[in-house]
Structure 1
Amino acid sequence: MLTQQMQKQKQLLLSWAAIQFSLLLLLQQAFAGWVIAIFALLLLYRLLSVFKAKAGISLKLVNLLAGIIAITFFLQLRQAGVLHFMLQILLLAATARLLALQHLYEARQLVWVHYFLIACCFILHQDMLIALFILLVFAVNLYSHYRLFSPSVSRLNWLQTGRGILIILPLWLAIFLLFPRLPPFWQIPNVNIASTGLNDTLDPGSIEQLVQDDSLAFRVEFDGALPPRQQLYWRARLYEDFDGRRWQVNALRQNASRQRAADTAADSSLSYRIIAEASQQTGLFALATPVTSSSNVFISPSGLLSSNKPVSQRLSYQVSSSLTPVVLVSEQEQQLNLRVPPGNPQTQQFAYQLKQQYPQSHELVQALAEHFSRQPFYYSLTPPRLGSNSIDAFLFDSHTGFCSHYASASAVILRHAGIAARVVGGYQGGNWHPQQGYLAVRQREAHAWVEYLHNGVWQPFDPTAAVAPERILDSLDSALPEDQRALLDPGWRQLVLLQNLRQQLMHLDYYWSVWVLGFNDNRQRELWRTLYRYLPAMAYSAAVLFSIIIVVLLYLRLTQSGTDNTPQATKQLHRYLGKALAAKPLSLSVSAFLLQCAKRYPAHNAYLKQLTALYEQALYKEDTEALNQLKQLLKCHKAELGRLRRAIKNT
């Protein structure tokens, strides 16, 4: 018995250590490298002590060690953030409890802390595969919880567990679909996780680095047909401050992006829904000029979309856009986009020449596009480094650049020519999946183009389309030489089998996002309205189905009672003892089995002997009085019969 208890304790310690390693892996993006190293060393030490059959560390030493580590976590509170500090303290509490664990009864708090940590994993992760892994960790912790309180010799009854799951699943589904979806009672404070996607600064090389990231940026589902690829310019940032080398979002523009634009009467040509990946930024994506949006998204006067807080989890929002250019907001906006810093004298002279030859803005833009098309300019993911006069070096020396180089040079030329212009950062294109009906836009579709002012509206101009039209009409891969495509797709990613598997998992993850993560209060209200509309029909159908079931049960009962020759005494025993009689060997009669149980369970000896005597008298002598006494005895001792059934079942 002692050996079984020690084996049980070892198995539980190993399972708890595995759970904490899994939690460390799931929460690693919230921890600094040195924090991960501390937890890994503590868990490795505990694993070695379990394998070597050593006792846990003394509680005083563990408390001292945990106190020192907690102080170091507190000193890094400003860098880590409140949320990450809370996660660190929770995991430290679980690890400290595991290190000091001497007896199994001390582990009750440990499994409950694990439940809290497992729930916290959903704050950082929403992918379907990771969610399945989190549920697996939850199942392991739940099984360890059962093993903690169960006898060492008992085993999990999988049949009963399966029945319990079949009962719980419909209830869980009903709660998920119908229970009111309350807003969060608290907000996630100070989530210091590195942001992804476009930033507020655009310089040579920033987009080149971003396009080498193949992760999803967002997915789009159109209400109608897919627009032509030339229209798929997803606006996300406006870069209007230029210091001679890099572009930045203007400070006034950052504040304006949090304000909702006035309602417009423009007709919406496109209606679509976007599922944006977590980026830790407030900026979102839209086509052309957004007209309306769902309540969780704001449209600024400049046509940019933003969330009221950083997108720390997947965000679903609906947008309607007009395929017309964005209108000029104010005179201040025009003056902001005419400023040019000193430097780049050759570019300035080139702009003056263009202005003299083409006084109209649209003619000048067309001439600039033809210049890029006819001259030996090259589209490259690895352009050479540029000096202080970066625009001059690009236009007149290297002739090689990426979309940000062409957009930056074009905007500077237009400003020198007296035309207000700005660089737009966003995404272009995407990969359409017709069977699933959505457009997948990845970070590699990051793009930069230009908007210039003409007749009071901001006309789009993409110089990349003049240099590498394949980038706009097809994809980035088709616009790059073969040696640079390897930078986008490593060798393992080029395997057809892995590509197909990755794509299928992406499709499943999309359905997960739409039907589970995207099931918000608006969809729930729509479901309630649909149910209310069909409520009479559902009630009539339920009544008819219930009536059919009642009729069938009555019919079966009547037919069984007419053909069933089982004696009433035997029926009464089976009614109250139930599955306990199922353990009876076929070679024993009911009376012999009851007497055998009377010897095996002395606590029920007198009752079982009295029960057997009345049963035999009612069965063999057909004594009506004995049958009535048997019924009364079974009815008055239900509690004792329940204890007897459990005793028979557990042996």
Structure 2
Amino acid sequence: MLGQKRLLLIWSGIQFALLVLLQQAFAGWVSAIFLLLILYRLFSVLQAKRPVSLLLVNIVAGIIAVGFFLQLKQAGVLHFMLQILLLAATARLLALQHLYEARQLVWVHYFLLASCFILHQDMVVAVFILLVVLANLYSHFRLFSPASARLNGVQLSRAMLIILPLWLAMFLLFPRLPPFWQIPNTNVASTGLSDNLDPGSIEKLVQDDSLAFRVEFDTGLPARQLLYWRARLYEDFDGRSWQVNSWRKDASRNRYSSRINNNNSAVQRYRIIAEASQQSGLFALATPVGSSQNVFIAASGMLSSLKPVSQRLSYQVSSVLDPIARLSEQEQLMNLRLAPGNPATEQFAHSLKQQYPQPAALVQALAEHFSQQPFFYSLTPPRLGANSVDGFLFDSRTGFCSHYASASALILRYAGIPARVVGGYQGGVWHPQQGYLAVRQREAHAWVEYLDNGVWQHFDPTAAVAPERILNNLDSILPDDERALLYAGWRQLEMLQTLRLQLMHLDYYWSVWVLGFNDTSQQELWRNIKQHLPTIGYVLLLLLIVGLLGGVIFTVRSRKPSHDHLASQLLYKQLADVLSNKPSAQPISSYLRHVAKTHPAHYEWLNQVITLYEQAVYQNNNVALQQLKNVLQRQHTELRDLRRAIKNT
């Protein structure tokens, strides 16, 4: 009974861990239902109460499943499947009465734990999942082993020495097959930049310290002022906010060949590991001219994945630091559209146009206006009214990058210059020892592209107001009270920040060596193996010869003549499962008497076996030996029942 209670506690803990791991797949009320069911089962185990009847469990599970089905459209098919699987496991645990009924439960746990990798790919979470898998393996061992069995460290070590090389070989060499089925779409809130940009959206995003992506450069780290990671083009303006044009969303599904004005431009090659964002838009520098097969270059140099990024994604890009060429006349006209409102901004744009008719000169004058007038860069700008751009330019004069980019693009459009707002990330933190650039959500940024001589020129008004933001980082230009917003709570503790940084480095290596081991990496490995195939063959042959010689020597030295009586050999053959847990120093007859007492239903025939065994061994009675053989043959059914009884205790 004590062993059964321990297993029930382990399974309750495993299901609680699964609930935590699958949390993002469940709505709040779904998580609450699972938590109540698991806590009830845990309470009933601790209070030694009887499990819930199977009929009642089926009724409750059916009602809950109907609730899951009704919110299928909001949750998505994948999350619905995970809910049903966890519900099946929880229902089985609630009604579990006998250990042999738990076999289904253990296997459902394995499947749910494997499904956790659909939602999580972080190294720390992977370690946690591994610990839960080990707990389930331990319960699996306890479920199928006799009560007195103990884990053997030597045997486990031997098994690991065999399994780990095989696992590593399969991971490295087994062909990367395409998926046999696609993961259904799920309704998950996206992270990072959205398709809408209004005053305040970037400010909220930069307070998020989570990773957006990491970059490893093949051709050296570019200057910081060149690290503009393009992710979104905002070309529709309604007078207050900017949106991604619907045509742009449709065009992003098509592949475009990049047009480079300068064929002698240096190519920048780099690899990006993007975090899950549930969006298809990705990140690239300037003008991408080549990419790996899992992503493609869409219109206007935008990079896109083949499907929403629901898991960490690694891809390669080649870029040139040249401006993007104009796509079409439609694109030019789209970026001249105006919305009613902001009359003061319109008047200011017309006055600039009269003084500076050329686009480049007007942009330079606008940059000087921002730098010479009392404009301020702030993470907490005041609220703006209906004419938000007028309120920013002529009243508050305080804003974040989205304010300056929005105002600049609108001024250029009023001046007859096609312009758009670009959303992405600027800069990042370079880790020289590890060799990668970490770009967090706080590096989110907005700037402007305007059309001049057939190409989209880059203009960042933030560089005129707060150049430290571009040349250094966001922290260097914020006052102390606003900087505290970036480092709230535990982030102020230096020790925890250092630990977090080290975990991020380890997670990076995990992403590169494990998650990033794709078809290309495997093909490169196969090419290296083929080049050194003779050497590898000789080494393997030598190891095989040494292993065979060692095995022969060990077998010869460990072989000892058997002095066991024929009766003992007979019992070890017929009662192997029963005698597997017998202490080596305990006599067979003594151990069988113990088994007979603990299983009284088999007492009579076991006592007969003990009597005949002792006569055959101690009196050298051949007749008793023959009778012992006959008894064991006749008691075939009883032997099977005894094995089953021992297995379930």
Name the TM-score, length of structure 1 as normaliser. Answer: 0.86
Higher relative contact order structure (alpha carbons within 8 Å, sequence separation ≥ 6): 2
Decide whether the 8 Å contact of 1:595 with 1:608 is kept in 2: no
Letter in 2 for 1:460: H
Q: Deviations over 1:230-289 (max 9, x none)?
A: 000000000000000000000111111111112656455200000000000000000000
Decide whether the 8 Å contact of 1:599 with 1:605 is kept in 2: no
What displacement does 1:316 show? 0.4
Decide whether the 8 Å contact of 1:31 with 1:80 is kept in 2: yes
1:289 matches 2:284:
no
1:305 matches 2:303:
yes
User: Following the alignment from structure 1 to structure 2, what is the Cα–Cα distance between the partners of residues 99 and 61?
Assistant: 10
User: Following the alignment from structure 2 to structure 1, what is the Cα–Cα distance between the partners of residues 133 and 351?
Assistant: 70
Task: Give the match for residue 248 of structure 2.
Answer: 253
User: Following the alignment from structure 1 to structure 2, what is the Cα–Cα distance between the partners of residues 595 and 457?
Assistant: 90
Task: Give the match for residue 529 of structure 1.
Answer: 527
User: Following the alignment from structure 1 to structure 2, what is the Cα–Cα distance between the partners of residues 595 and 11?
Assistant: 28
- Give aligned pairs, total: 589
Decide whether the 8 Å contact of 2:258 with 2:301 is kept in 1: no
Of the three residues 76, 79, 103, the one matched with 1:81 is 76
Decide whether the 8 Å contact of 2:217 with 2:436 is kept in 1: yes
User: Following the alignment from structure 2 to structure 1, what is the Cα–Cα distance between the partners of residues 49 and 93?
Assistant: 13
Task: Give the match for residue 157 of structure 2.
Answer: 162
Q: 1:168 to 1:549 in 2, by over 3 A?
A: closer
User: Following the alignment from structure 1 to structure 2, what is the Cα–Cα distance between the partners of residues 21 and 594?
Assistant: 43
What displacement does 1:551 show? 7.9
Task: Give the match for residue 401 of structure 2.
Answer: 403
Q: Secondary structure at the match of 1:34?
A: helix
1:149 matches 2:147:
no
Of the three residues 110, 113, 138, the one matched with 2:108 is 113
Of the three residues 198, 202, 205, the one matched with 2:197 is 202
1:13 matches 2:8:
yes
Q: Deviations over 1:590-636 (max 9, x none)?
A: xxx9996689785877997899x9xxxxxxxxxxxxxxxxxxxxxxx
Decide whether the 8 Å contact of 1:594 with 1:609 is kept in 2: no
Letter in 2 for 1:211: V
Q: 1:543 to 1:155 in 2, by over 3 A?
A: closer
Of the three residues 410, 419, 422, the one matched with 1:421 is 419
Percent sequence identity is 70
Runs of 5+ consecutive residues of structure 2 not aligned to the other structure: 570-583, 593-609, 623-646
Task: Give the match for residue 634 of structure 2.
Answer: none
1:31 matches 2:26:
yes
Decide whether the 8 Å contact of 1:598 with 1:609 is kept in 2: no
Of the three residues 365, 371, 374, the one matched with 2:372 is 374
Task: Give the match for residue 572 of structure 2.
Answer: none
Give the CA RMSD over aligned residues. 2.8
Runs of 5+ consecutive residues of structure 1 not aligned to the other structure: 1-5, 579-592, 614-649
What displacement does 1:86 show? 0.6
What displacement does 1:513 show? 0.4
The farther-off stretch of 56-65 and 261-270 is 261-270
Q: 1:290 to 1:610 in 2, by over 3 A?
A: farther
User: Following the alignment from structure 1 to structure 2, what is the Cα–Cα distance between the partners of residues 370 and 596?
Assistant: 98
Q: Deviations over 1:183-236 (max 9, x none)?
A: 111111121111000010000111100000000000000002110000000000
The farther-off stretch of 330-339 and 232-241 is 330-339
Task: Give the match for residue 277 of structure 1.
Answer: 275
Q: 1:571 to 1:201 in 2, by over 3 A?
A: same
Task: Give the match for residue 231 of structure 1.
Answer: 226
Aligned ranges 1:327-476 → 2 under 5 Å: 327-476=325-474
Letter in 1 for 2:161: L
1:191 matches 2:189:
no
User: Following the alignment from structure 2 to structure 1, what is the Cα–Cα distance between the partners of residues 393 and 46?
Assistant: 67
Q: 1:69 to 1:335 in 2, by over 3 A?
A: same
The farther-off stretch of 161-170 and 495-504 is 161-170
User: Following the alignment from structure 1 to structure 2, what is the Cα–Cα distance between the partners of residues 160 and 553?
Assistant: 17
Decide whether the 8 Å contact of 1:594 with 1:608 is kept in 2: no
Decide whether the 8 Å contact of 1:595 with 1:609 is kept in 2: no
Decide whether the 8 Å contact of 2:257 with 2:289 is kept in 1: no
Name the TM-score, length of structure 2 as normaliser. Answer: 0.86
What displacement does 1:386 show? 0.5
Q: Deviations over 1:21-47 (max 9, x none)?
A: 110011111100001111111111111
What displacement does 1:311 show? 0.2
Q: Deviations over 1:85-110 (max 9, x none)?
A: 11111111111111111222221111
User: Following the alignment from structure 1 to structure 2, what is the Cα–Cα distance between the partners of residues 415 and 33?
Assistant: 46
Q: 1:526 to 1:392 in 2, by over 3 A?
A: same
What displacement does 1:452 show? 0.5
What displacement does 1:51 show? 1.3
Task: Give the match for residue 644 of structure 1.
Answer: none
The farther-off stretch of 46-55 and 313-322 is 46-55
